[in-house]
A and B are shown apart, each in its own frame.
Chain A
Amino acid sequence: MTSQAETSSSSTPVIRCDSVYKIFGANAKNMLDASNGIVDAAKFQEAGCIVGVNNASFEVFPGELLIIMGLSGSGKSTLLRCISRLTDATGGKIYIDGEDILSMNDKQLIELRRSKMGMVFQSFALLPHKTVLENIAFPLQVKGISTEASIKRAKEMVDLVSLTGRENYFPRELSGGQQQRVGIARSLAIEPDIWFLDEPFSALDPLIRKEMQDEFLRLQGALSKTILFVTHDFDEALRLADRIAIMKDGIIEQLDTPANIVLNPATEYVRKFTEEVPREKVLKIESVMDPFNPTQDMSDLKVPKNAIIETVAESILNSSKPVAVINEEGAIVGSLTASKVVNVLFGGHTGKSGEQSS
């Protein structure tokens, strides 16, 4: 959390949204102009307009993974499409690297997509008439890169997503997971700075989904892209995100780190999501530790402050004395007792008790 705050103050955001609205319908623009920015979805619906995104403002920083979470119809995919300008936002401003993309003409937009953006789709959206290799090389070829160079690059991408040996397969000959690997490789072929993923793993079986999430984390560890990731799966969001934006009816209900969302849900709607979440799988040690008291009799065991509780719980429970919590430099920043961990693990699974315990 603190590291997040540091990056935000030190660098400019890659993506910045300023009161973005997307309203579908014939008269949407006029109605929005007349509403002074206060959009009542029910009123708009009566007039035949459907509100997709309602006053979304946020920033995404370099190397950050922001997940937009919401159920179907919440406007999360619409928001993503506004930012990639696959649809034009009805109102507001969207900046990519400080440039206003809504005022870009077609040529600039194509240039932006060819150099900075990659996108992965829920239904994979591979070109059925092209092989794995040709699909991955496609964004390079439309850019005008020679066949030889683009195929060479595509081969590297095939290796990166572990599809070596299947270069000449057609999409129909691959499993869902493999197809999405191709989709990922295609979106990364031009080495984009910004990576959009629209429910990339939702169409996959649970086991494959887990495997692909691991693969995704591995890739992100190696590549450090700025990522906007859309999902309806709260567990997936908690597992992957730096920050999560939870959307409902086009409105961002809360935008915060996974731990803060679980510990301090902003609205009733968000609380419902967090209720069933096993918090030891989400929370880091630092969010439940006590302040360090030098006079205390400490165990020899030290745990890093950004470890997920579940991964160190067993050793803390086995230790009779409080355990020291250290930061990246190895300095002790807090302590944790077994009883505290027990409380997290088996205590009341509500947001309130979470607040008390921290």
Chain B
Amino acid sequence: MITTIKERKYLQFLLLLVVFYLLCLIVPPSDSNILWRFPPLLKQLPIIINDSVNYLLFDWWLIDVWDPDIEEFEQKPLVNLITRAFSGVILFMIEFIREIMLGGVKTIVTFSGWEWATANPWARWPALPWTVVAGGATIIGYALKGPRLALFVFFTFAYIALFGQWEPSMETLSFVLIAAPVSVLLGLALGVWAFRSRRVETIMNPLLNVAQIVPHFSYLIPVMIFFGIGDHAGAIATVIFATPPMVRLTLLGLKKLPPEVAEAGLMSGCNNRQLLLKVLIPTARRDILIGVNQVIMQCLAMVVIASLIGAKGLGNNLLIALNGLRIGLALELGVCIVLIAIMLDRLSLAWANKQTDYFADLSFVQRNKFSLIFGVVFVAGIILAYIGSFFFKDGFNYLYLIPHNKGITTQDFWQSGVDWIWDTFFYSLKGFNEWLIIDVLVPVKTAYLGMPVIATFTLVMGVGFIVGGTRVALSVGGFLLFIALTEWWDRALITAYLVSLAVVISSIIGIVAGTLCAQHPVTTRFILTVCDTFQTFPSFIYLIPVMMLFGVTDTSVLIAIVVYTTVPATRYTVEGLISVPAALHDAGSMSGVNRIQRYFSIELPMSFPHLALGVNQTVVFALSMVIIGALIGTDDLGQLILGSLSDRQGVGNGLILGLCVAFIGLAIDQIIRTWANQRKQALGLD
């Protein structure tokens, strides 16, 4: 009996479920019962964190600083001085780029002071006419890749200008143009450091794991405390969030290189710097460029979230539009963000792949043709703007700067579309919504909340034990214990309920859709393109249409998560299935299997590790989306994190809540990854 259980995993799972169910029945729900809920022993932790942060910021290491206003030395804390100085530099860089495109006075003020600038009203940096910016970007697109990219770039800027989103878009762009390069360089540097030193790698790995799962909101609070509010704070939060994937992909790319590449570089006489910059990094550029792409996507995903701590631009406007339920406007803004994201991605890719022609014997004009054309565009744009000032008398010079929200708009169209859908499908939508909430969501939620803590532990640690032995069971248990000892166990259960429901649904959809599409090369390519496109959309974009249909309910959040997370599930399924070697298909066919048999006996088991990683990604995506769902109203951990944003003493709460979310993710990650690796080894895929 015992030996059969030891050999058969499904019997072990069955036994575990029975124990779990019994525990659920036996343990009575009462707050005094330690088996029902653990006491919140870590309740003091947020307060301790708050106190230490305050001490660090205001009392630690005071130094004397000369204050010119009161002409006296003043005691100021070191950390505060450093962070303020750092903020100043970042803010200056953002403002500088912003004023090149939009004009302004702050750059001049930095060098001359407010008094002088106020006394000399002529000293204003003039904005470039939008035609010049759009033309310049188009020329860059042409120079880097060719007419198709140029056309796309031009279309992007034309769209932005025509829809009257020029100012917020340029604000967002200036912010991204600082945050993205900083993240890329920082990620590259850290990745190389980890590549060079094993010790750094071992330290960095767990940090990266946590950093990628901790929800965006949690970063905002400490950043806000240390760096204040504004564009620079948004940029810093963005850098913190966008750097980890860059580090990881740099490291991955460098580690994948065969040793002969480095040897070839050394034998060519490279010194360390040349080896790194000219041999290793360029050879690993495939992965590194994926990292750059990730950084750009993260930056634009952060656009909305960073606006919560004062970043100006599209994100802020989108948030306001969402809150005002102005779906049409939100949609137009969303399209702006997506277009900018795709454009930056394509431009950076084209730049990295650019090639030099050594044979061309070029004249001065040919060599400098792009600068010359830009010169022409520059002059023409200014002349046009000047002419425009005679035509448009009422203050809006459409040839210079299109004022905010004064372009064309399709808002009314979308709004009437929404109205039409509401009028036509009101009852079916409402019916579906109510059915989902009453018959599915609420019962599942109640079931989750009705689990005694001891049962949850038994279930999760038991799965960990069956899959990966004592080590996995203990580490998973550790993650859970942390959450259970905070006072937010119930909230965590609500998060878990939304996430698990969404993961189940999107895994089913993703695996089925992926399987169907992987049957034919044309559909395979089609679905991969669709996944690519959807992955460029920042996560909150998905909130727009669902809110339009289902309002502020759990249904909206759930559907947004499902839509968002079906993408990785589908992609990994397709990639797993097409990675099954053709020889195995042939071997199967020659053994006389039919298509269905082949799928279940060959393709599915062979691609299982891939599928498992897809599900893993789905979990991570779902966690990040469920927290963003707080923007439209949920009652889980995300809502609490959002709440602590507006609390002066919110650092501790925000951090601990963020860790709770991260630990849910890490626990699931640990189990799935161990399982996938075991299957991989068993199949000899490693």
B112 within 8 A of A: no
Q: Are A142 and B266 closer than 8 Å at their CB atoms?
A: no
B267 within 8 A of A: yes
Q: Are A118 and B358 closer than 8 Å at their CB atoms?
A: no
Could you give, for residues 130-162 of chain A, a 1 whenever the CB lies within 8 Å of some chain B CB and a 0 otherwise? 110100001100110001000100000000000
| Bound-complex Cα distance A119 to B357 (A) | 27
> A122: which B residues are within 8 A, CB to CB?
260
The stretch among A38-46, A106-114, A240-248, A330-338 that forms the contact with chain B is: A106-114
Could you give, for residues 306-323 of chain B, a 1 whenever the CB lies within 8 Å of some chain A CB and a 0 otherwise? 000000000000000000
Q: Are A113 and B358 closer than 8 Å at their CB atoms?
A: no
A61 within 8 A of B: no
Residue from the list A106, A142, A147 in contact with B358, Cβ < 8 A: A147
B261 closest partner in A (C-beta): A125
A107 closest partner in B (C-beta): B271
Which bracket fits the contact residues of A? 20 to 34
A84 within 8 A of B: yes
A117 closest partner in B (C-beta): B267
Residue from the list B258, B269, B285 in contact with A142, Cβ < 8 A: B269
Could you give, for residues 268-307 of chain B, a 1 whenever the CB lies within 8 Å of some chain A CB and a 0 otherwise? 1111101000110011010000000000000000000000
Q: Are A110 and B269 closer than 8 Å at their CB atoms?
A: yes
A229 within 8 A of B: no
A116 closest partner in B (C-beta): B269
> A196: which B residues are within 8 A, CB to CB?
267
Are A86 and B266 also in contact (CB < 8 A) when A121-B260, A123-B258, A138-B278 are?
yes
What is the distance, in angstroms, from A4's C-beta to the closest C-beta of chain B? Answer: 28
- How many chain B residues touch the partner (CB < 8 A)? 22
> A168: which B residues are within 8 A, CB to CB?
357, 359
B424 within 8 A of A: no
What is the distance, in angstroms, from B464's C-beta to the closest C-beta of chain A? Answer: 32
> A81: which B residues are within 8 A, CB to CB?
263
Could you give, for residues 69-96 of chain A, a 1 whenever the CB lies within 8 Å of some chain B CB and a 0 otherwise? 0000000000001001010000000000
A163 within 8 A of B: no
Q: Are A127 and B358 closer than 8 Å at their CB atoms?
A: no
| Bound-complex Cα distance A203 to B100 (A) | 55
> A139: which B residues are within 8 A, CB to CB?
268-269
> B268: which A residues are within 8 A, CB to CB?
113, 138-139, 142, 186
How many residue pairs link A and B with beta carbons under 8 A? The number is 67
> A138: which B residues are within 8 A, CB to CB?
268, 278
| Bound-complex Cα distance A118 to B260 (A) | 14
> B264: which A residues are within 8 A, CB to CB?
119, 121, 125-127, 186
Residue from B258, B264, B274, B355 having most chain A Cβ neighbours under 10 A: B264
Q: Are B271 and A106 closer than 8 Å at their CB atoms?
A: yes
> B266: which A residues are within 8 A, CB to CB?
86, 113
> B272: which A residues are within 8 A, CB to CB?
106
Are A129 and B285 also in contact (CB < 8 A) when A113-B268, A143-B269, A151-B358 are?
yes
Q: Are B263 and A119 closer than 8 Å at their CB atoms?
A: yes
Q: Are B269 and A125 closer than 8 Å at their CB atoms?
A: no
| Bound-complex Cα distance A86 to B266 (A) | 8
Residue from the list B267, B269, B271, B282 in contact with A127, Cβ < 8 A: B282
> A20: which B residues are within 8 A, CB to CB?
none
What is the distance, in angstroms, from A169's C-beta to the closest C-beta of chain B? Answer: 11
Q: Are A131 and B355 closer than 8 Å at their CB atoms?
A: yes
> B261: which A residues are within 8 A, CB to CB?
125, 127
A115 closest partner in B (C-beta): B269
Residue from the list A110, A118, A133, A151 in contact with B271, Cβ < 8 A: A110
Q: Are B270 and A142 closer than 8 Å at their CB atoms?
A: yes
Q: Are B267 and A113 closer than 8 Å at their CB atoms?
A: yes
| Bound-complex Cα distance A126 to B278 (A) | 12
| Bound-complex Cα distance A127 to B260 (A) | 11
Are A190 and B358 also in contact (CB < 8 A) when A86-B263, A125-B263, A129-B282 are?
no
Are A190 and B355 also in contact (CB < 8 A) when A121-B263, A122-B260 are?
no
What is the distance, in angstroms, from B102's C-beta to the closest C-beta of chain A? Answer: 37
A54 within 8 A of B: no
What is the distance, in angstroms, from A180's C-beta to the closest C-beta of chain B? Answer: 12
A226 within 8 A of B: no
A187 within 8 A of B: yes
A206 within 8 A of B: no
A294 within 8 A of B: no
What is the distance, in angstroms, from B353's C-beta to the closest C-beta of chain A? Answer: 8
> A123: which B residues are within 8 A, CB to CB?
258, 260
A192 closest partner in B (C-beta): B267
Q: Are B260 and A190 closer than 8 Å at their CB atoms?
A: no
A186 closest partner in B (C-beta): B268
Q: Are A84 and B267 closer than 8 Å at their CB atoms?
A: yes
List 11 A-B pairs, Cβ < 8 Å: A86-B263, A110-B271, A113-B266, A117-B267, A123-B260, A125-B261, A125-B264, A127-B279, A128-B283, A138-B268, A143-B269
Further contacts, 10 of them, CB under 8 A, given A125-B261, A127-B283, A142-B270: A113-B267, A119-B264, A121-B260, A121-B263, A123-B260, A125-B258, A127-B264, A127-B278, A130-B282, A138-B268
Q: What are the 9 closest A-B residue pairs judged by CB atoms, nearest first? A: A114-B269, A125-B264, A139-B268, A119-B267, A125-B260, A129-B282, A113-B269, A121-B260, A142-B274
Measured CB to CB, the residues of B under 8 A from A are 258, 260-261, 263-264, 266-272, 274, 278-279, 282-283, 285, 355, 357-359
